[in-house]
Structure 1
Amino acid sequence: MMSKLPFEIGDTFTFSKTIGESDVYLFAGITGDLSPNHVNEEYMKKTVYQKRIAHGVLSLGFASTTSTIVAEKAPMPSVSYGYDHVRFVKPIFIGDTLTVTYTIAAKDEEHDKTIGDIEITNQDGQVCTVAQHILKYFP
């Protein structure tokens, strides 16, 4: 039986971006998350991190960008059905360059969905964020 869903297990898509100070402040302003972890350098000097960290959810926003890249390559309409198993495993600092790798991990032909494994790494190859993404198709 031929698959009606696009993509094969193992297909991979990527997106990269360097986190600027403006990214953190704009995200803080949009979301209202003005935690000192993100906007107060002096506060963070007293922590194990020694400097401000970007919002973990900001990195998940880049995962959304990558899922849009996947959706745009599909020959049929699709929508994001959400994220599962999201973990912020390493802090992201201003100046880090993140790369999102989105890999098709499973196909659910019965429900017209694919599951993508998401791994977000920094410029040193260290994993910062992981998640799974569900993409629902409308053949």
Structure 2
Amino acid sequence: MSELPPLDVRLPADGVSVRRTVTEADVLAFAELSGDRNRVHTDAAYMAGTRFGGRLVHGAFLLALVSTASTRLIEETGGFAVAYGHDRVRYLAPTFLDDTVTVHYRPAQVDAASGKVTSEVEVHNQHGDLVTVGTHTVWFLPENPDERTSP
């Protein structure tokens, strides 16, 4: 196994942001794709009578938007990277259908020797409420298959 060259990419200091209004079609398609058809996401009549008053967006859907943000960051660097993992993800407030969420994805820790970049993640709704937080790490690698290594 070869040693990785030190990380040599320019990271946007302010990170990147992704904004999306989550529609009913998004939630239903995600329920089908993921197999998570829990009624908190799919049953409007049931959820109308709960403390939430309406259906909730899947937390994993919000994490998919985090992946969108990480892809944009990787594209801005021109580098080659793969997801290494999410940590300390917390859903602090509910996200509802038709909410507009903004994912803020900001590099916070760079390990140039390993090529790993950990970003702070915050997701806010259209009211400015912080609904999700966590960290996400991507691993920048050489594109040459002869230089592959394991974590």
TM-score by length of 2: 0.85
User: What is the alpha-carbon distance in structure 1 between the residues aligned to residue 8 and residue 20 of structure 2?
Assistant: 33
Is 1:42 aligned with 2:42?
no
Match of 1:99 in 2: 102
What amino acid does structure 1 have at the position aligned with 2:8? K
For this pair of structures, how many residues does the alignment match?
Answer: 137
User: What is the alpha-carbon distance in structure 1 between the residues aligned to residue 109 and residue 68 of structure 2?
Assistant: 20
Deviation by residue 1:66-95 (Cα, 9 ceiling, x = unmatched): 000011111321111111111111111011
**Displacement over 6 Å in runs of 4+:** none
Sequence identity of aligned pairs in percent? Answer: 34
Rg larger in 1 or in 2? 2
- 2:121 paired residue among 118, 123, 127: 118
Q: How far apart are residue 103 of structure 1 and its match?
A: 0.6
What amino acid does structure 2 have at the position aligned with 1:137? F
2:7–2:113 Cα contact (<8 Å) kept: no
Q: How far apart are residue 12 of structure 1 and its match?
A: 1.7
Q: Secondary structure at the match of 2:52?
A: coil
Is 1:14 aligned with 2:41?
no
What's the RMSD between the two structures over aligned residues? 1.5
TM-score by length of 1: 0.92
| Unmatched 5+ stretches in structure 2 | 1-5, 143-151
What amino acid does structure 1 have at the position aligned with 2:11? F
Match of 1:31 in 2: 34
